[in-house]
A = this chain, B = another copy of it.
Amino acid sequence: MKDQTPTVTKGPLPASRRVWRKGNRFPEIHVPMREVVLHPTSGEPPVTIYDSSGPYTDPKADIDLDRGLPRLREAWVRARGDIESYTGRHVIPADNGFAEGARLVPEFPVRHIPRRATKDRAVTQMAYARAGIITPEMEFVAIRENLGRDGAKEKLLRDGESFGADIPDFITPEFVRDEVANGRAIIPANINHPESEPMAIGRNFLVKINANIGNSAVTSSMAEEVEKMVWAARWGADTVMDLSTGRNIHNIRDWIIRNSPVPIGTVPLYQALEKVNGIAEDLTWDVFRDTLIEQAEQGVDYFTIHAGVRLHMIPMTVDRVTGIVSRGGSIMAKWCLHHHRENFLYEHFGEICDIARAYDVSFSLGDGLRPGSIADANDQAQFAELETLGELTQIAWAKDCQVMIEGPGHVPMHKIKANMDKQLEVCGEAPFYTLGPLTTDIAPGYDHITSGIGAAMIGWFGTAMLCYVTPKEHLGLPNRDDVKVGVITYKIAAHAADLAKGHPAAQIRDDALSRARFEFRWEDQFNLSLDPETARSMHDETLPKEAHKVAHFCSMCGPKFCSMRISHDIRAEAQKEGMERMAEKFRKGGDLYVPLEDVK
């Protein structure tokens, strides 16, 4: 297999090391974080950063892509005593779009026997939470979200506006359990993807981001997609959706899941459509159901299900400027219209839940009628579907299934909050998972930015996970560089949202970087940034010499005009004079205070 094995990006980020914190309740769990070591002159401890990158950034990790990542959750899952191994479904040529010979991507070299719940049990994190059980996954999440802030010396800043979110100072396993139990958070963790490191998506946790990858009929290969997944996680993607639509879907997905430290989401409809040769009208519940089981056995952590696109809503889209822009939505609309029947995903949603609960596949209820342009934002079709997603949420919860709700799309700024508020209202506070939204349509090529604006805002208002948009949106398939730009842009949006919500730990990294900036610790400034390589290379362009990395002036202004250097002079002078006394004098007014009237 070695000649076909993909190569991925490995090694730590600059000045960073992967560290672990042990569980208390479950001492066998080791929660990874990244520590950025600062220059000794700072006198500051390392800064702890949430780390989604998996073992790839650990130089001591033994990475073998042919074998897959260590199956860290396997023992936890087995210990619950409610699952069984079974033969599983056989892979058939249709699963790979009938690719054969040299065009067939090789099977993943190791086949793990699939597992599922015994009898009709629900093996979902929600089921355990509701039963009062704290799972290792829940403690893992609690430790991960805290980022060691229980040990931080700094006073917790709780300055923000959270619009009803309720983020505690410290996340406890009990809090995680409660949030999962009441549906406000999910932990996407298929029992057949034990390689993943548990993470939570919910309004009372750090805002997460998703990166989309996937080949298409037009372009891209397995090796590229595996590297895109590792690459996206390296820069901060919390989950990855594999949106492949061409041939080899099954085998590519296996390579991705076995090597993924983050939850993997899919849109099973895409593969089902490939199985019926791309003819939407030929889709059947049987084909779809078979695809769900196929993917659940592989370990897909969440499914996008377009069950909210109902027959009676389709006429509402006819006068839109851009019709239906969700691929899944348009496929189901076409099916409904052709057969003049209700969406079979809606009709069979209960059965879909029965499958999901047997593997703990979470739902991402698809917004098949999301607006594709500013003109169509917040229209009747969009909100009618959202209400249906609220109904489906109740069905899923009744079956102990974990649910999040997909959101738009293209929405001008003044209509964003209405989206969030309506979602909270009609979907019972199930986590919102939005694409952007794009705040204008006039900048193809820069839609990471048009949407980053909307993403930051809706994240602030309460969206739990932001689906990235790359610069290639509307124009082409993202390459590795586009994936990185998309992820960094969305990390910015998510972090800006955390700050604005008043997340207790969010500002620690900003403050550490700002202090480094003010103290001319250039290396620390680069290392604390979301993209140290880019920051350093931009500095090199203006001041390339190594000596400039310790320069006590800003490369933009030169030494004479460096405000920060002057600020240091001021501070020194102030300390000399006793600034406090001076300030007091000024506040009381004196000769130095010239009243405005005298100036006129």
Other contacts beyond A374-B507, A375-B510: 17, CB < 8 A: A217-B560, A312-B587, A318-B570, A318-B574, A323-B564, A331-B563, A334-B566, A334-B570, A413-B457, A413-B460, A413-B499, A439-B456, A440-B510, A444-B526, A444-B529, A445-B534, A476-B556
Segment among A66-74, A116-124, A335-343 that sits at the interface with chain B: A335-343
A92 within 8 A of B: no
Contact with A566, one of B217, B280, B488 (Cβ below 8 angstroms): B280
Shortest beta-carbon distance, A32 to chain B, in Å?
Answer: 20
Q: How far is the CA of A528 from the CA of B329 in the complex (A)?
A: 27
Contact with B along A551-563 (1 / 0, CB 8 A): 0001111111111
Show 28 A/B contacts (Cβ-Cβ < 8 Å), sorted by A: A216-B557, A217-B559, A217-B560, A218-B543, A273-B560, A278-B561, A311-B586, A315-B583, A318-B583, A321-B518, A330-B567, A333-B566, A333-B570, A338-B573, A342-B592, A346-B594, A346-B599, A347-B599, A372-B517, A373-B511, A395-B600, A413-B456, A414-B499, A446-B488, A446-B531, A452-B453, A453-B457, A475-B542
Known contacts A161-B414, A529-B445, A563-B329, A511 near B440 by CB under 8 Å: no
Instruction: Using CB atoms, name the residue of chain B closest to A485.
Output: B446
A579 within 8 A of B: yes
Q: How far is the CA of A238 from the CA of B280 in the complex (A)?
A: 49
Contact residues, A323-373 vs B (CB, 8 A): 323-327, 329-331, 333-334, 337-338, 340-342, 346-347, 349-350, 372-373
A500 within 8 A of B: yes
Segment among A52-60, A144-152, A187-195, A490-498 that sits at the interface with chain B: A490-498
Known contacts A346-B599, A375-B510, A492-B449, A569 near B334 by CB under 8 Å: yes
Interchain CB contact under 8 A, B514 and A443: no
Q: How far is the CA of A477 from the CA of B541 in the complex (A)?
A: 9
Q: How large is the interface on A (under 10, 10 to 19, 20 to 34, 35 or more residues)?
A: 35 or more
Interchain CB contact under 8 A, B321 and A570: no
A219 within 8 A of B: yes
Contact with B along A444-472 (1 / 0, CB 8 A): 11101110110011001000000000011
Interchain CB contact under 8 A, B582 and A507: no
Determine the chain B residues whose CB is within 8 A of the CB of A558 once the complex forms.
Answer: 216-218, 245-246
Known contacts A322-B517, A566-B331, A556 near B440 by CB under 8 Å: no
Contact residues, A160-180 vs B (CB, 8 A): 160-161
Known contacts A497-B413, A499-B413, A555 near B477 by CB under 8 Å: yes
A535 within 8 A of B: yes
Q: How far is the CA of A452 from the CA of B450 in the complex (A)?
A: 9
Determine the chain B residues whose CB is within 8 A of the CB of A600 once the complex forms.
Answer: 350, 395, 398
Contact with B along A285-329 (1 / 0, CB 8 A): 000000000000000000000000001101111100111111101
Interchain CB contact under 8 A, A529 and B567: no
A407 within 8 A of B: no
Q: How far is the CA of A323 from the CA of B450 in the complex (A)?
A: 32
A539 within 8 A of B: yes
Interchain CB contact under 8 A, B542 and A599: no
Shortest beta-carbon distance, A352 to chain B, in Å?
Answer: 11
Known contacts A449-B449, A492-B450, A593-B311, A218 near B329 by CB under 8 Å: no
Interchain CB contact under 8 A, B216 and A556: yes
Q: How far is the CA of A294 from the CA of B347 in the complex (A)?
A: 78
Q: How far is the CA of A560 from the CA of B216 in the complex (A)?
A: 10
Determine the chain B residues whose CB is within 8 A of the CB of A444 once the complex forms.
Answer: 513, 525-526, 529, 535, 538
A261 within 8 A of B: no
Determine the chain B residues whose CB is within 8 A of the CB of A347 once the complex forms.
Answer: 594, 599
A509 within 8 A of B: yes
Interchain CB contact under 8 A, A439 and B566: no
Q: How far is the CA of A342 from the CA of B593 in the complex (A)?
A: 7
Instruction: Using CB atoms, name the residue of chain B closest to A220.
Output: B542
Interchain CB contact under 8 A, A561 and B216: yes
A442 within 8 A of B: yes
Q: How far is the CA of A14 from the CA of B196 in the complex (A)?
A: 48
Determine the chain B residues whose CB is within 8 A of the CB of A497 once the complex forms.
Answer: 413
Interchain CB contact under 8 A, A567 and B476: no
The 8 A-B residue pairs with the shortest CB-CB distance in the complex, in nearest-first order: A323-B567, A476-B542, A315-B583, A312-B586, A373-B514, A413-B500, A217-B558, A330-B566
Determine the chain B residues whose CB is within 8 A of the CB of A507 once the complex forms.
Answer: 374-375
Instruction: Using CB atoms, name the residue of chain B closest to A332.
Output: B566
Interchain CB contact under 8 A, B457 and A542: no
Determine the chain B residues whose CB is within 8 A of the CB of A161 once the complex forms.
Answer: 414
Shortest beta-carbon distance, A51 to chain B, in Å?
Answer: 15
Q: How far is the CA of A599 from the CA of B392 in the complex (A)?
A: 10
A135 within 8 A of B: no
Determine the chain B residues whose CB is within 8 A of the CB of A523 once the complex forms.
Answer: none
